[in-house]
Amino acid sequence: MRHLFILLLGLLTFPTFGQSLPNGLSFFYENGLKGIKNKEGKPLVPAIYDEIEAFENGRARAYREEKTGYLNLAGLEVIPVKFDFIDLFVDGRALAIQGNTIGNIDESGRWKKKLEADFIGAFENGRAIVKIKGRWGLLNNELKWIVAAKYSSLQDAGFGYYIFGEGKRFGLLDENGHTYLKAEYDSIHPFVDGLARVQRKGKWGMYHQAARMQIEPRFDFIGEFKNGEAPAGLNGRRIRIDIDGSPIED
């Protein structure tokens, strides 16, 4: 799950707080790791954590060796640092991931609701790509399927779109499960500068992030756009086209 932790950790922004803590406690560092000492300067929590966040309601998230848990002000791990991800608690529950298990835990780290998956991607905008029983879908942070796990593949395409596969054909849907392109394309690439390359029946075109076909799939290839034009192939001839797919005359 190393890759998953890195993705999730990249989505977290550790708050920047002063070194003071309640009851005269303070953070300290040793060998690049973080701990907590009491007002006499004696370690209360040994410096074994990669990060300890600010305390809220007497608890703080702590990170060690790519795992996450919770500490209390006595320095005890009230939730063992063994989870790949724990979100903030709301009404006594938090979304958590441990290995291939995703679900809600209570404030002692016990699972209240969970499901087992083959793969769990990083949550972005409250959604994660999940593979379960060999099929791919889109799950929200309330553990509800936005897109049922029924596709042979699912990939984040950017701009709130996802590329889904049905066998050897691909389509495009959004983060709410609405289908924009049916699974009748040979290939669909993620968006770059607001455009996604699409291939249908061996021909290439470009789909715009505003949910319209910018260039109909009719070209043998389309190169990289620079200054509003790109090399392209049409019926075996090499030409240049503008952003609308119109040939540019020399």
**Residue 28 lies inside a defined structural domain of this protein:** yes
Residues 14 and 105 both lie in one domain: yes
pLDDT at 10 over 70: no
**Residue 10 lies inside a defined structural domain of this protein:** yes
Kindly report, residue by residue over 37-56, the tens digit of the pLDDT.
988 999 999 999 999 998 88
Residue with tokens 């699974």: 183
| Strand boundaries in 23-178, DSSP class E | 26-30, 33-37, 43-49, 51-52, 59-64, 67-72, 77-83, 85-86, 94-98, 101-105, 111-116, 119-120, 127-132, 135-140, 145-151, 153-158, 161-166, 169-174
Q: Of 116, 131, 163, which closes a domain?
A: 116
What average pLDDT does the segment 111-122 reach?
Answer: 93
Tokens found for residue 62: 């702590």
Q: Of 116, 136, 159, which closes a domain?
A: 116
β-sheet bridge partners, residue 6: none
**Residue 132 lies inside a defined structural domain of this protein:** no
**Residue 166 lies inside a defined structural domain of this protein:** no
pLDDT at 2 over 80: no
**Residue 142 lies inside a defined structural domain of this protein:** no
Residues 103 and 184 both lie in one domain: no
Which residues span the domain enclosing 53? 2-116
pTM: 0.76
Residues 8 and 111 both lie in one domain: yes
Residues 32 and 107 both lie in one domain: yes
Mean predicted lDDT score pLDDT of the chain: 90
pLDDT, position 3: 39
pLDDT, position 119: 95
Where residue 243 sits, what CATH number does that domain have? 2.20.25
pLDDT, position 23: 75
pLDDT at 118 over 80: yes
pLDDT at 163 over 80: yes
- Are 5 and 66 contacting, i.e. CB atoms less than 8 angstroms apart? yes
Q: Of 93, 116, 139, which closes a domain?
A: 116
pLDDT, position 249: 82
pLDDT, position 117: 95
**Residue 45 lies inside a defined structural domain of this protein:** yes
End-to-end CA distance of the chain: 54
Residue 19 pLDDT class (50, 70, 90 cuts): very low
- Are 218 and 205 contacting, i.e. CB atoms less than 8 angstroms apart? yes
pLDDT, position 127: 92
Q: How many domains does the chain have?
A: 2
pLDDT, position 141: 85
**Residue 248 lies inside a defined structural domain of this protein:** yes
pLDDT, position 39: 87
**Residue 220 lies inside a defined structural domain of this protein:** yes
